[in-house]
Structure 1
Amino acid sequence: MDEQFSGGVFNDELPTGRAGAEITLAPGALEAVTTDGSVFVIPYRECQIEIGGFNNRMVFCRTQDRSVTVFCDHKKFAKSLSAAASGVLDNQLGASKRQMKSRSRRATAFGFACLVGIILLCIGGYFGVRYGVSAAIQVMPVSVDRAIGQSAFGTMDVGGPEINDAVVVGAVEQMVERLKPHAAIDGLEFEVHVVDSPVLNAFCLPGGIIVVYTGLIEEAKSPEQVAAVLAHEMSHATLRHGMERVGQSLGFWAAATFLIGDLTGLMAAGTELFHYAAVNSYSRGQEDAADAEGVKMLYEAGIDPSGMAQFFQILEEEHGDVPDALAWISTHPQHADRIDSVNAIIKSLPKKEYTPIDVDWKEVQDRATMKKNPPGDG
């Protein structure tokens, strides 16, 4: 018995140009009878085959002049057509299937490429906004740095009481006064706070608020070594590394609103970042830049920049395991490489005479650690 399938016919003589039909795979030809009784016959030897359609399984059987097209999407139609035609159409069916698979692969590849393109567009948009934030921060007035630094300092726990000993604070302020004329940007108002804590640390918030711990003063062998740490930390502020970190911490929409002039998200992110995060947590690139800028500031201020490498060396020799209390070195990794880098920078500079920092360092250290604190001075 001849197999029958439901399908359709395209032909200009039909009222609407197409009609549903019952297709019979008869010996020698396929026959399509439409609902209005029209009959279309296509001999297998004259049949032109194409496979496609929306679902890629529609079989189109056309006359050589393409005036009649019989179509069917039944999943068994192609196999039955091949059997009914006794292999006459196998080459065409095989070629059509290969073309269909090729189109399918191209469509899949195109779809995948579109998906990747959309993803890259989203990523590009995201990083474009992030880059825009970084660029905007560099041209932002330093008053914004100051506002963020003050807000963060007002809410953060610095880990100990502030001391007001005139000798101790005055020594640190003297170092800062010599360094600040050589800052990379103008407008920062450096403000010194000395905190009584054995933690070996110092940091500079955006805008110039400097915190120095007595543990750092006690550990340093000379005021030039403390000045070197200060120059490094001040460089983070003058190079606006802290502000870059704030910009990087912004969510996409907060960053986008910042770019159109709304500083609310930036202020909130800055306060939160420096309140909860380690203020010394900078990237390796930022650390290297602060080292180089710090050496430059020391050199131009007439302070021996070798104090920076000396201080790194002391820490490595005396605290090789870097205990947790030594916060400054623990947040500034790979010091062996940085010692070599700092020494290389110093060697590249023209030789000059340096002016020692005029303080009694032993007295400063004693008073900082409360070994000698005359009445009325602190």
Structure 2
Amino acid sequence: MTTISKSIFYDGQSSVPKTIDLFFDSNKGQFTFQIESKSSVNEEQESFPVVTETYTWLISAIVFEDRSTTLFLQHGEDPIQTIKITDAVLIATINQFRKTSGQLNWYQTLLQKPLKFHVFLALFLLAIVGLSYVYILPWVAEKSVVLIPESYDDTLGETFVDENSLLGDSQIEKSKILNDFAAGLQLSNKKKLKFKVIDSEIMNAYALPDGTIVVYTGILKEMKSYDELVGLIGHEAAHVNNRHSMKMLCRNLSGYLFISTVLGDVNGVMAVLGDNVNTLQSLSFSREFEKEADEEGFVIVTKNHVNPKGMVTLFQRLEKEHSIDMPEFLSTHPMTKDRIQTIKTMIASKNHNVQENMTLKMLFEKLQK
């Protein structure tokens, strides 16, 4: 089938356009048109007749450029000749041929879609961006922790301690007792753990990336038995063992860390983390990390022959006695009823041998004074 349309031809040598009748043969995949031109003048100023030249362009040798309602065809190299087509029917015929023959790229195919399709595509891409920001970016940022050497955990933890007063005075004697208490436990730790007791009514405890575990006297006073303290220490030790603080810090800063991670810029990642070291104290762990800390904490408690019920009794008491003003520990370590029930299920389903430890009991009583 042949389609004909008025078009504009530029020969690449003159700026003067010429109107042509452009024929497109969709069976052969080629364009044909004619150009009339006068020959040069001889020495006697005698003019030669007008010459009509016929041009044939194969579609496979043409570079196409779509501009809104106009299609440009470019052919040759030196000079580059151009045909400008504004006929919508001819443009549609050409694009259909290119699509059928596989010569229309994905972008050009997309431009041919109706407005409804573009609106739907825009909404779809917006949804993808939103989901990526909420789910994919935090996941990528968390995985970037493997790029950070564990030695940087020590630097970050030490920086935090240097820059913060820990919201209270350090209790040197009680810190020594708590370190002695922890030394009597098998905590499955690869990193050395250091315990600091801070004199404050704040009911909280948290682990820093360098292995420092801060425990406030406010939460120590809430405890009724040493097995509750073992449960707390086991839980916090599990956070250190799994680098949960670093992972959550990376998640919270995922927007900043994404580009650095993609580029493999480890120094950039560490710089961003260092600038936000003060947020370590108020990190709220995800359910996934809390579940992991619960499970590993349970293993630590039972391995030390301590009653695992201490893991839940403290949390239940905190939740019950401070239901209006939620203790800091429950806000940074969200203890839902489901999680408490999960710990109870582990206690009921797994065998454990409980043996009273008089040394731990004595040290715990010293901490209570």
TM over 0.5: yes
How far apart are the structure 2 equivalents of 1:214 and 1:144? 29
Aligned ranges for residues 157-236 of structure 1 at < 5 Å?
Answer: 157-164=165-172, 166=173, 168-179=174-185, 181-183=186-188, 185-186=189-190, 188-236=191-239
Using a 3 Å threshold, how does the CA distance of structure 1 residues 274 and 346 change in structure 2: closer, same or farther?
farther
Instruction: Give CA deviations for 1:141-185 in whole Å, capped at 9, x if unaligned.
Output: 5x4433322221111231111123x4x445423431133x332x4
Measure how far apart 1:331 and its partner are: 1.7
In structure 2, relative to structure 1, the CA distance for the partners of 1:33 and 1:223 (3 Å cut) is same
What does residue 146 of structure 2 align with?
135
Partner SS for 1:39 = strand
Q: Is the 8 A contact 1:136 1:259 kept in 2?
A: no
Query: Would you say the 8 A contact 1:152–1:272 is kept in 2?
Result: no
Decide which structure has the larger Cα Rg and report it: 1
Shift of 1:41: 8.8
SS of equivalent residue, structure 1 residue 192: strand
Match of 1:352 in 2: 353
**Matched ranges for 1:136-151 at <5 A:** 136-137=147-148, 140-141=149-150, 143-151=151-159
Residue 73 of structure 1 aligns to a residue whose secondary structure is strand
Establish whether residue 38 from structure 1 lines up as the match of residue 51 from structure 2.
Answer: yes
Unpaired runs of 5+ residues, structure 2, are 23-32, 40-49, 74-81, 112-117
Is this contact kept in 2: 1:302–1:354, CA < 8 A? yes
Distance in 1, Cα, partners of 2:92 & 2:144: 58
Q: Mapping of 1:1-378 within 5 angstroms?
A: 7-8=8-9, 21-23=18-20, 32-36=35-39, 37-39=50-52, 53-55=64-66, 57=70, 73=84, 75=86, 78=87, 95-96=93-94, 98-99=96-97, 106-109=106-109, 130=141, 133-137=144-148, 140-141=149-150, 143-164=151-172, 166=173, 168-179=174-185, 181-183=186-188, 185-186=189-190, 188-248=191-251, 249=253, 251-252=257-258, 255=261, 262=267, 266=270, 268-321=271-324, 323-324=325-326, 326-356=327-357, 357-359=360-362, 364-365=367-368, 367=369
- Determine if contact 1:203/1:280 at 8 Å carries over to the other structure: no
Shift in CA distance, 105/278, structure 1 to aligned 2, threshold 3 Å: same
Secondary structure of 1:215 counterpart: helix
Query: How has the CA–CA distance of structure 1 residues 201 and 98 changed in structure 2, closer, same or farther, with 3 Å as cutoff?
Result: same
Task: Describe the SS at the equivalent of 1:151.
Answer: helix
In the other structure, the counterpart of 1:82 is none
Change (3 A) 1:210 1:277: closer
Deviations 1:250-271 (A, max 9, x none): 63565578766x5x852x5454
Q: Give the percent of matched residue pairs that are identical in Structure 1 and Structure 2.
A: 22
Is 2:302–2:352's contact at 8 Å kept on the other side of the alignment? no
Aligned length: 304
Question: 2 CA distance for matches of 1:32 and 1:314?
Answer: 95
TM-aligned CA distance change 1:193 to 1:22, over 3 Å: closer
Letter in 2 for 1:172: L
5+ long unaligned stretches in structure 1: 11-15, 43-48, 61-70, 80-89, 368-378
CA deviations on 1:53-95 (whole Å, 9 max, x unpaired) are: 53475699xxxxxxxxxx96363xx59xxxxxxxxxx9x8974
Residue aligned with 1:278, SS: helix
RMSD, matched Cα? 4.6
